[in-house]
Structure 1
Amino acid sequence: MNGKATHTKTRLDRGRGALGPALELVHTGRAPTRAVLTAELGVTRATAGAVAAELEALGLIQVDSRPGAAAGSQGRPSHRLAVNDSGPVALAAQVHADGFRAALVGLGGRTVATAPGCVTVSADPAQVLGEVVDAGAELLRGSGLRCVGAGLAVPSAVAEPDGTALNPLHLAWPAGAPVREIFAERVRAAGIEGPAFTGNDVNLAALAEHRHGAGRGAQHLLCVATGHRGVGGALVLDGRLHTGSSGLALEVGHLTVSPEGRPCYCGGRGCLDVETDPLAFLTAAGRDPGPEVSLLEQSRELLRTEYEDVAVRGAAEELIDRLGLGLAGLVNILNPDRIILGGLHKALLEADPDRLRAVVADRSLWGRSGGVPILACSLDHNSLVGAAELAWQPVLDDPLAALG
């Protein structure tokens, strides 16, 4: 080996530990150029170049062969970095009360392909997970792309370390269903490469929003969202989900906001889960839920088209006040630096942002000292993107070990 090749190999050896951090910087959009990558990693330009070249050789990123600089910028032009649009993908799956969906998601949170969603969910989790994996496997065959692994989002707390769905209250599945084990078995049976992971849908939505959406840059991100039924919450601390000692943290749906309110599935009364979800909104607005589309879509459509109706506006204000009370309690306990809202809560925020922010500020200690930014989630199908993030994580941790 000649001297130049030896020197290049030495640089790359020094930079191997930076491969994962470098990939995550490109993946989350925080290193659009090699110059930024160099600064973020705290390495020399030569080492950053070797790291970028290795990630490109693995098929994960693209390095622009022609250095460029933005108009008006000073200094040496730098090579632009981007995720490889033709690179590997993760299989993402989501199950909720009104159906399931499968997708292929590449680096950068980019959805490559989506299978048509099923609108009925069997009481047998093995049947449902088999169907959603089959839909994903068909997408993979059609794409011809390499798969790094699979991730599943479910509307239930997922207990660790066993990966059981502790309380799939809005599905007819048995409590404690071994969803991770079943999903992993179906993934292997379909011949899909890579490990399989399972997580709570709102946890995964928060992870996706933190990396690619409205939560980017937050250090202590609180996410609260409705699904098609119920309410969930999640907390991302310094880029990692906070799931507690056994995966059950942030079950905010069972925070009481109306002590004399509706009976909840958990055995309590007046929980966020039954006081601020789509069914609660439709009921408060005096609308009978129809079977044509999901409760969430019916609620969103009602807000979009009939918000000036006295009953609809009154129902929205009622739910906003209850949601604000719940958020204020969470702010007092968690002291987040940003709150993001999804599902019906996003639509309520957009309908009357001043009212919701005023309730939170008035009822929280920290809100009175300056307020906490409250934003709408910005990603489509963020739970699916978050499920893919689970599958991408081993690659982000160690690209060489994961992809060989």
Structure 2
Amino acid sequence: MNGKATTTRTRLERGRSALGPALELVHTGRAPTRAVLTAELGVTRATAGAVAAELEALGLIRVDSRPGAAAGSQGRPSHRLSVDDTGPVVLAAQVHADGFRAALVGLGGRIVATAPGCVTVQADPAQVLGEVVDAGAELLRRSGRRCVGAGLAVPSAVAEPEGTALNPLHLAWPAGAPVRDIFAERVSAAGITGPAFTGNDVNLAALAEHRHGAGRGAQHLLCVATGHRGVGGALVLDGRLHSGSSGLALEVGHLTVNPEGRPCHCGSRGCLDVETDPLAFLTAAGRNPGPEVSLLQRARDLLRGEYDDPSVRAAAEELIDRLGLGLAGLVNILNPDRIILGGLHRELLDADPDRLRAVVADRSLWGRSGGVPILACTLDHNSLVGAAELAWQPVLDDPLAALA
């Protein structure tokens, strides 16, 4: 009897220790069926079934009660697994040079609801983050959903472990603003449950794309993106976001790609940050950026709608060449197995993919031997989804403890 009890207890412990890995597999779409879950976890079918049932009881996933098999497949049909669309959510928020956005995000990276915010970001980070959290709290009130945490994406390097925004260059915020503490305080004051996290927007975009988008399956993923202003980079190594010793890795915006180019906010000249962002494109094309819409949207509209205009095409080619030069240098240093591009860089890749890939191949040692795949980011609002990933991580690590 004692032996049977011990065996049962051991199986139960193994099952509980597999809850987090199992949830992550379903969350990232890598375990669409219970059979795949069994194989990925390396457990028995009974254990995988118990784990799936526990996650379903927690309101995190759904197990199809009618197992099915793909057309043409052989063997016993397997129960399909999916995230529970009615389950808990996290509050995700993003602040950028042209405003902010709050959203509710479920498992699987699914955005449930969004609330765009102001157009002008105030110089006081506490005021801005208070407005962000208020917008998120209203979304939660209307949804009636349980919230298990909050995540914030900001256009600045975020120092670890302090959680301070060191260089919010395109915001009027003071350098070193304690954004993580401010955000956590506002979240708590609004009565929103769960821990609060803060990270750099491009880091979080890379995390989201690696789990749910164009970076899925890459071992060493390089992400470079330009949003509303400036250029950022991020690196995922062996499936984990690489942020360096203090959160400041991959400040790729300050690679020099044009020594005689535009002055940069960092004090240098011709950095990727000021040579390949939306303002650089609009300026090179001879267009007035104008205050009526965001720089990113204005640049996108111009590139999509007027690419046949010689001045627009010439500006795009100029930016592509400088972006390619910067990417080639990063390939030589980092040797990634995939590059993904976001923001306006995604549009430049779409406009002339052969030109960009040729520049990278010509300027990089490894590019000449076969090339590094260069793909467009595929997720809308990937920084928001990445902010949500920060908030979901404690649940992915230990679902029982996080939801207790």
TM-score range, shorter chain: over 0.9
TM-fit CA distance, 1:67: 1.2
* CA deviation profile, 1:216-244 (whole Å, cap 9, x unmatched): 00000000000100000000112211000
Q: Distance in 2 between matches of 1:147 and 1:242?
A: 28
Q: Distance in 2 between matches of 1:120 and 1:239?
A: 36
Q: Distance in 1 between matches of 2:187 and 2:293?
A: 29
TM-fit CA distance, 1:4: 10
| Dislocated runs of 4+, deviation >6 Å | 1-8
TM-fit CA distance, 1:118: 1.9
TM-score w.r.t. the length of structure 1 is: 0.98
Q: Distance in 2 between matches of 1:259 and 1:362?
A: 20
Q: Distance in 2 between matches of 1:238 and 1:42?
A: 20
TM-fit CA distance, 1:16: 1.1
Q: Is the 8 A contact 1:153 1:384 kept in 2?
A: yes
TM-fit CA distance, 1:7: 7.0
**Identity across matched positions, percent:** 91
Q: For residue 291 of structure 2, what is the aligned residue in structure 1?
A: 291
Q: Distance in 2 between matches of 1:310 and 1:403?
A: 57
* Stretch moving more, 334-343 or 112-121: 112-121
Q: Distance in 2 between matches of 1:76 and 1:279?
A: 57
Superposition map of 1:8-87 within 5 A: 10-87=10-87
* Stretch moving more, 111-120 or 148-157: 111-120
Q: Does 1:355 align with 2:379?
A: no
**What secondary structure does 2:90 align onto?**
strand
**What secondary structure does 2:152 align onto?**
strand
Q: Distance in 1 between matches of 2:364 and 2:41?
A: 38
Q: Distance in 2 between matches of 1:246 and 1:256?
A: 23
TM-fit CA distance, 1:125: 0.1
Q: Distance in 2 between matches of 1:144 and 1:195?
A: 19
Q: Is the 8 A contact 1:151 1:198 kept in 2?
A: yes
Q: Is the 8 A contact 1:357 1:374 kept in 2?
A: yes
TM-fit CA distance, 1:401: 1.0
* CA deviation profile, 1:5-53 (whole Å, cap 9, x unmatched): 9976653322111111100000000000000000000000000011111
Q: Is the 8 A contact 1:8 1:50 kept in 2?
A: no
* CA deviation profile, 1:250-295 (whole Å, cap 9, x unmatched): 0000000001111000001100000000000000000011111100
Q: Distance in 2 between matches of 1:279 and 1:289?
A: 7
**What secondary structure does 1:365 align onto?**
coil
Q: For residue 331 of structure 1, what is the aligned residue in structure 2?
A: 331
**What secondary structure does 1:379 align onto?**
coil
TM-fit CA distance, 1:349: 0.2
The unaligned stretches of length 5 or more in structure 1 are: none
Q: Distance in 2 between matches of 1:308 and 1:86?
A: 47
Q: Distance in 2 between matches of 1:324 and 1:390?
A: 31
**Cα 1:82/1:315, change in 2 over 3 Å:** same
Q: Is the 8 A contact 1:11 1:50 kept in 2?
A: no
Q: Distance in 2 between matches of 1:57 and 1:14?
A: 18
Q: Distance in 2 between matches of 1:316 and 1:117?
A: 30
Q: Distance in 2 between matches of 1:342 and 1:169?
A: 19
**What secondary structure does 2:8 align onto?**
helix
Q: Is the 8 A contact 1:152 1:387 kept in 2?
A: yes
**What secondary structure does 1:115 align onto?**
strand
What RMSD over aligned residues (CA atoms) do the two structures have, in Å? 1.5
**What secondary structure does 2:112 align onto?**
strand
TM-fit CA distance, 1:123: 0.3
**Cα 1:120/1:10, change in 2 over 3 Å:** same
TM-score w.r.t. the length of structure 2 is: 0.98
Q: Distance in 1 between matches of 2:338 and 2:329?
A: 14
Q: Distance in 1 between matches of 2:5 and 2:34?
A: 21
Superposition map of 1:273-292 within 5 A: 273-292=273-292
TM-fit CA distance, 1:140: 0.5
TM-fit CA distance, 1:120: 1.4
